[in-house]
Amino acid sequence: MKAENERIKDMASQLKGKQKREYIWDYYKLHIIGGIIGLIIIGSLLNMYVFNPPAEIAFDITMMVPNMDAEVKDAYVETLNALILDPDANETVEIEYVGSSVSSDANVVMAIQTKMMAKAQLQALDVVVMDDRYYSLLSDEGGLTDLEPLLSGDLKERLGDALLGDAIMVDDMPNVQALLGYKPADAEFGSIYIGIMDNSLRKDKAVRVLEFLTEK
């Protein structure tokens, strides 16, 4: 192998200009291509994790509902980032759509419940927007916090009968309707509720999110 390398070097040294470039390319093109690909991968990783790392999820809104409007979601993420997060921190609000219990597939419902349990154990859930079934499950298991001590008197007065103690019925709330992409009161899926997870570490921010989503 060493002798072969020396022979290639000697032949290359005897060639001039274009012939020399072509000769080097013929023998080292795999090495050159591999090196270029390696540099691209290293550059991408450095850009992603060192120079422009992804924003850290600092607040979670999980949508356990039949539908979500993706464009409205993106707009709300920007609005809520400005409303509740430090503008100098590399943080973001996440609005995650996981699906609804309104499904004929029991495996889908089980998968959603499993994912929710895992996020709850990690205290990665803050605000949940949910259909009738998921509200009943979370409420019965004590997974939702009592909203009465957290909300201001003005907000509780504005919400009126929509405030249910551990959740808010949001069927006629325009900001929620926009996020859902439909009006719950006119749909066949049943009512929609919003609440704060009992083990959330960001309840102060969650209250401000509830204020935004329930504006009329």
The 3-class secondary structure across the chain, one letter per residue, is: CHHHHHHHHHHHHHCCHHHHHHHHHHHHHHHHHHHHHHHHHHHHHHHHHHHCCCCEEEEEEEEECCCCCHHHHHHHHHHHHHHHCCCCCCEEEEEEECCCCCCCCHHHHHHHHHHHHHHHHCCCCCEEEEEHHHHHHHHHCCCECCCCCCCCHHHHHHHHHHECCCCEECCCCHHHHHHHCCCHHHCCCCCEEEEEECCCCCHHHHHHHHHHHCCC
Q: What is the pLDDT of residue 38?
A: 73
**Residue 30 pLDDT:** 73
Residue ranges for the chain with pLDDT beneath 70: 1-28, 39, 42-55, 101-106, 108-109, 122, 185-187
Residue 117 has a pLDDT of 72
Predicted model pTM: 0.72
